[in-house]
A and B are shown apart, each in its own frame.
Chain A
Amino acid sequence: MAVETRQGHTFGDRMPRKEDGRFIRGRGHYVDDIQLPGMLHSAILRSPFAHARINGIDVSAALDHPKVRAVITGKDLEEQGLAWMPTIAGDTQAVLATDKVRFQGQEVAFVVADDRYSAQDALELIEVDYEPLPVIVETPRALDPDAPVIRDDKAEQTNNIIFEWEHGDREATERAFEQADVTVKQEMIYPRVHPAPMETCGAVADYDVGTEKMTLWVTSQAPHAHRTLAAIVTGLPEQQIRIISPDIGGGFGNKVPIYPGYVCVAVASLVLGRPVKWMESRAENLMSTSFARDYHMVGEIAANKDGNILGVRVDVLSDHGAFNAHAQPGDIWPMGFFAIFPSCYDAPAAYAEATGVYSNKAPGGIAYRCSFRVTEAIYLMERTMDVLADELGMDPVELRRKNLIPAEKQPYESVMGWTYDGGDYHAALDEALRIADYQALLEEQKEAREQGRIMGIGVSTFTEIVGAGPKKKCHIAGLEMFDSAELRIHPTGKAVLKIGVQSQGQGHETTFAQIVAGELGIPAEDVDVHHGDTDHTPYGLGTYGSRSTPVGGAAAAVVSRKIREKAKKIAAHLLEAAEGDLEWVDGGFQVKGSPGQRKEMGEIAFAAYTNTPPDEEAGLEGVAYYDPPEMTYPFGAYICVVEIDKGTGQVDVKRFIAVDDCGVRINPMIVEGQIHGGLAQGIGTALMEVIEFDEEGNHLNSNFMDYLIPTSMEVPKEWETGETVTPSTHHPLGARGVAESPTVGSPAAVVNAVVDALSPYGVRHVDMPLKPAKIWQILRENRVEPF
């Protein structure tokens, strides 16, 4: 038996990704790549109206199409009790419309045909008798007493209100506002945007009549939860359902919910006994699958004249579209983690109230690269902080510095009931200022203004709240939000790690291997990570809300440590030493004070199958289900520098400095990549992206010609990233999760920079997206010379 020594990569290394080998060759395996013998294709007929009664559907001509195998309508599903499905927010959503359509693009009929072109052709042969109804597009309209009631399918629903929610201490906050020297109030809209991953949503269902087993390949960020929900909804035995979430072309929250297409494709395969594929088009993706945000907010801060915050008050109207498919970690969280809004500031009082409403728009809203509404909360806070700075005539950096929670108060108990897991916010801000050379930037801005250039500097400091959750607090449709890892060490010292979370590009196959490597001294190259297949991985709640590392990563560490405990017993047996005399040093056990008496992990693994101690079971395997004691709180300090073209109103992001503290970094290269991508998405939100409707509820930009996402030309030349490292106080590896910090922190930094640029013209706030036309209008109103 050859001795295994530590070679290759381990925890903390900039290891090139293990998954890249297949992707760079075009050998990734995405849902649309699945080709099965006899597989049929499908297409969905969607409503052209935002709100209409369905008086009849005639599918006879479609059924006459020679290549059509089936046409399914809501009436057909109703007979099976499948016309409606539950959403993860506890609402119901129509799979195929029976009574009414409630948003443009809603699913009305499902056609199965021999090929995808024929399925599309047949859609045009279906006749639907629609009776248009008045629509609600502007969110506040939903609250009008004479507004049409959108969800008249629900007997108890007599208006459009989904929930009314409050959090915090109302009286204490009111007192703070009464006693304050200064108060500010700012209305703002966080617009409706779309995650728009490059791969759209889709599924392949293959019901095997011989084994009575349903295999579903789905673009899913949470395959295990999807399996359980599929079992509950369809009545199929759960062991007869296998969900495979293969390579996923980006998720960003878009692939958390269950969509009607997934249900239809499963029904079609059950009925026809053949595999059926459904893959949405880009237009369908942008029109019908989950949007994000659409928060109409009012932020208020009370402060003393020195700028010390006394209280924060928030009022929100949230638009959930036609069905409440909100991503939330349980029914006690109708606003997700929005109550994090006092953020990294030492606010003595805070209070929020919110109303959620239905409208005739696509259902949602999901958490787009966001831990359940943190993004909206931080944007609100960071925008309002700049308004306060303006009111006080104080530098926004100084205002923040004054109010950041001091490091010595960590772990910090916030007035909103959170317990932060450590952090030195001042250090992160100082590092960002150092990278930016803030004083020089202020000088440069002064010069620019003298030269007639419009330059702005924006700052944003924030904490996130990610890694849901403690299972006592957080659940998805009742499923507690733990996560899992199962580790098998083979006799030759190689390992297979099976995890309950699932990658959509985050690089789990590499980082999770690095976790095992760090714990057991096995090179990461020798650890194969399996995920996404419910038949072959332990139960988990999936990847969203930056929970893979905080929860799944912790499970991987814990199971590795379990294995190490058993390895110690085996090592003691091999070394003929007492367990208590052994110590773990650099990937092996050795007798204390006698490093020559040593067994490497590889030797121990071999012995686990060939020479086990008499009182030990053979094998070296384990499983861990990890319940985090608290959420994790990654934080950061961002600085954005913009220049505005006076003639066109185009905002050019000249520099973006991002200092993130995500605790200990497992693979710094992957962390940086995640930050870059999130920053680009944040810039997209701030400058380019919004889902637009006309007054009839027609979707106006359901393609990438009109719904613009950043290209290589809209992002700055370099993402200037920096770090501070404050280990999480409770995570086994000291890690916190990172992927969402950049989308959470960056939009405010960009908008703050643009508002700063326009501040000489008295501008205090501009709603996103800051498209050239909007800025051009401001410039012209202020008679700025275009050249």
Chain B
Amino acid sequence: MRIQVNVNGESREADVEPRLLLVHFIRDVLGLTGTHWGCDTSNCGACTVHLDGEPVKSCTVLAVRANGHEVITIEGVSQGADLSLLQQGFREEHGLQCGFCTPGMIMTATALLERTPRPSEDEIREAISGNLCRCTGYQYIIRSIEWAAKHGAPTQVEVMP
């Protein structure tokens, strides 16, 4: 069936099978490979994107469900050389190693900071508890999110110093 989805501010249309998962629509149809696939069962969160502003695990959302809606992926949180504060925070505080969970982590954290600009450590831990990371032991991810919270609004885009 034909769907139209607003992805990162652009209208994208495609003919898709009704069973196509949103993560495969984003990755294979649109070629936006920053959204990763890691588990099939919505446990790992590597595929987290925003659907109408809410973080969702795109491996358990059908692409047709996004028809007529707005999707933001990791590619949509920064423009060119500019990075979001969360992206900067992850770099400053060593919030990543292999980088595979990072886009999903940043999408979840972006949604958290939009709702709660100054989250407590416990709130951060709870917010990212559906995003698995096998590399970092989480402490520096939490510091990365705190860095962004300390430096301003999450949607604010700043040029790297």
User: Which chain A residues have a beta carbon within 8 Å of chain B's beta carbons?
Assistant: 16-17, 19-30, 32-33, 35, 115-117, 196-200, 247-250, 252, 281-283, 504-507, 669-670, 672-681, 703-705, 709-713, 715, 717-719
Residues 31-59 (chain B) with a chain A CB within 8 angstroms: 31-41, 43-44, 46
A678 to B98, CA, bound (A): 13
B138 touches A117 (CB 8 A): no
16 sampled A-B residue pairs with Cβ under 8 A: A24-B96, A25-B34, A26-B34, A28-B34, A28-B100, A116-B28, A117-B17, A196-B134, A197-B98, A198-B132, A248-B98, A250-B97, A282-B38, A676-B136, A712-B126, A713-B126
A198 touches B100 (CB 8 A): yes
Nearest neighbor of B96 in chain A, beta-carbon distance = A23
Cβ contacts under 8 Å, A198 to chain B: 36, 38, 44, 46, 98, 100-101, 132-135
If A17-B91, A199-B100 touch, whether A24 touches B121 (CB-CB below 8 Å) is no
Question: B156 contacts the other chain (Cβ, under 8 Å)?
Answer: no
A116 to B23, CA, bound (A): 13
Cβ contacts under 8 Å, B102 to chain A: 23-24, 26
Nearest neighbor of B135 in chain A, beta-carbon distance = A677
Nearest neighbor of B140 in chain A, beta-carbon distance = A673
Question: B106 contacts the other chain (Cβ, under 8 Å)?
Answer: yes
Cβ contacts under 8 Å, A670 to chain B: 94
A33 touches B97 (CB 8 A): no
If A249-B36, A712-B129 touch, whether A25 touches B41 (CB-CB below 8 Å) is no
Nearest neighbor of B125 in chain A, beta-carbon distance = A712
B94 touches A17 (CB 8 A): yes
Closest 4 CB pairs of A and B: A26-B34, A505-B98, A23-B99, A249-B100
Cβ contacts under 8 Å, A24 to chain B: 83, 87, 90-91, 96, 99, 102, 106
Question: B112 contacts the other chain (Cβ, under 8 Å)?
Answer: no
Inter-chain pairs besides A26-B32, A282-B39, A676-B137, 11 sampled, C-beta below 8 Å: A20-B90, A35-B31, A197-B134, A198-B133, A249-B38, A250-B97, A505-B99, A506-B97, A676-B136, A676-B140, A711-B128
A27 to B96, CA, bound (A): 14
Cβ contacts under 8 Å, A504 to chain B: 98
Question: B5 contacts the other chain (Cβ, under 8 Å)?
Answer: no
User: Which chain B residues have a beta carbon within 8 Å of chain A's beta carbons?
Assistant: 17, 19-20, 24, 27-28, 31-41, 43-44, 46, 73-75, 78, 83, 87, 90-92, 94, 96-103, 106, 121, 124-126, 128-142
If A17-B91, A709-B134 touch, whether A677 touches B97 (CB-CB below 8 Å) is yes
Report the number of A-B residue pairs with Cβ-Cβ less than 8 Å: 177
8 Å CB contact of A680 from B32, B87, B137: B137
Nearest neighbor of A283 in chain B, beta-carbon distance = B40
8 Å CB contact of A199 from B43, B98, B141: B98
Expressed in whole angstroms, the minimum distance between the Cβ of A777 and any Cβ of chain B is 27
If A198-B134, A283-B40 touch, whether A718 touches B94 (CB-CB below 8 Å) is no
B39 touches A704 (CB 8 A): yes
If A16-B91, A24-B102, A249-B36 touch, whether A713 touches B97 (CB-CB below 8 Å) is no
Cβ contacts under 8 Å, B34 to chain A: 25-28
A673 to B136, CA, bound (A): 6
Which of A507, A676, A715 gathers the greatest number of chain B CB atoms within 10 Å? A676
If A198-B132, A718-B139 touch, whether A33 touches B33 (CB-CB below 8 Å) is yes
A709 touches B132 (CB 8 A): yes
Expressed in whole angstroms, the minimum distance between the Cβ of B74 and any Cβ of chain A is 3
8 Å CB contact of A25 from B83, B132, B137: B83
Which of A30, A199, A674, A711 gathers the greatest number of chain B CB atoms within 10 Å? A711
Expressed in whole angstroms, the minimum distance between the Cβ of B71 and any Cβ of chain A is 13
8 Å CB contact of B41 from A197, A506, A704, A718: A704
Nearest neighbor of A252 in chain B, beta-carbon distance = B134
A456 to B35, CA, bound (A): 42
A30 to B101, CA, bound (A): 12
If A505-B135, A712-B141 touch, whether A673 touches B94 (CB-CB below 8 Å) is yes
Cβ contacts under 8 Å, B24 to chain A: 116
A719 to B142, CA, bound (A): 12
Expressed in whole angstroms, the minimum distance between the Cβ of B106 and any Cβ of chain A is 7
B92 touches A16 (CB 8 A): yes
A404 to B121, CA, bound (A): 39
A669 to B139, CA, bound (A): 12
If A199-B36, A507-B97 touch, whether A704 touches B44 (CB-CB below 8 Å) is yes
Cβ contacts under 8 Å, A200 to chain B: 38
Cβ contacts under 8 Å, B17 to chain A: 117
If A505-B97, A669-B94, A719-B139 touch, whether A705 touches B43 (CB-CB below 8 Å) is yes
A715 to B33, CA, bound (A): 30
Nearest neighbor of B107 in chain A, beta-carbon distance = A26
Nearest neighbor of B101 in chain A, beta-carbon distance = A198
